[in-house]
Structure 1
Amino acid sequence: MSAVARQALETVSKAEARAEFSLPAGGKIIMFAGRLTDQKRPLDFLKLAAMRLGNSDETFVLLGDGAMSKACEKAIKDENLTNVIRIPFVKDINRIYRAIDALTVVSEYEGLPLVLVEAVCMGIPVVSTDVGENKRVIEEFDAGFCTAKAGDLKTISAQLDTVLAEGTDAPRPGAARARDDFSIDRMAERYARAGRLTHIKGTA
């Protein structure tokens, strides 16, 4: 995200963002964003919502579409998950970040999901399974928790309690550093450096 786009988003209030996506004006909003596939374990996110159904001030947003869409819809209906809102698609995901209080990543495996990077750069706390590069990024930018194994919803729920209790409206200190580290210029430098190293190795 460019600095200009970031500044434009900062003019959008949480209330305005929630109204835009027809989300509750009050309470805490926890989001899953990604393809609805076995790898991403969206049913685990719905199980987490079921575990916390008694928390009347929480809403769980399932953002995404995919092969498990019908299974997710069935689970929402069968478990009467009145605390879940399903959104198959949004045009600009950056805008919905302004509406939420936490992101959860419950994947079985990952490299480094873009949604996690985006949330960290936006200052949204993340609770993730310990897969791929997630832990390195979350710890480097003090962005939340990444210790649970896939399926360990008890740990994820406890860590979610912690990040929500800390409050999510104040800027997280690592967000600005993350935006710099994942900026277009910085990423271009890395690709250029990698290309030069590859060329040197190829001619050695």
Structure 2
Amino acid sequence: MNVAGAELWLLAEKAIYWPAERALLVADAHFGKAAVYRALGQPVPHGTTASNLALLDRLLARHDCRELIFLGDFLHGPAAQGSATLEAVAAWRAGHPGLRIILIRGNHDHHAGDPPASLAMEVANEPMLRGPLALRHEPAPHPTHHVLAGHLHPVYLLTGRGRQRLRLPCYCLGEQVTLLPAFGAFTGGFAVQRKPGMRLVLAAPEGVFALP
């Protein structure tokens, strides 16, 4: 799909591949969120970190990537620092020593703190200008560049006959801002409504589907 003159591949796995930059872009991984909720006594699923990392492995194996760019909210909160979650991320990172990883700080990153230096990640404040695009976390327009952002965890509700409903992550392509769905497996979502000038692309297990 062409966005502001850049060819972007919107993937069913809730990530964008930018072939010209050989970059994989993901938003809102929220590593450590499930562990934080379990520490509070909430019954939440196990294995979300492992599934997220395995998904990253599959995407990196499938696409020619020299960079992995997180559009904010890499860690969910301070409790993720020094946790088993980060041990798993560190083991995963050791398997990709030549991969450049960039984190553009989001609101949760400001609260959680930067990832440890051992992960060898570059960390920057938003926006990061790259070609015709402004990469950031908050979906605020930029005066000169089209924005790729996360933060809102957009989902779209498909309704069928009777009470049939299907809730799918989606990409929201506006005139100035494109929203990515949340990459993390335990992140929730914000139901979006179609607006004039906005295109919605649903991310389903079978592939991506643009709403007519």
Indicate whether the TM-score tops 0.5: no
Q: TM-score, normalised by structure 1?
A: 0.36
Identify which of structures 1 and 2 has the higher relative contact order when contacts are C-alpha pairs closer than 8 Å and 6+ apart.
2
Q: TM-score, normalised by structure 2?
A: 0.35
Larger radius of gyration: 1
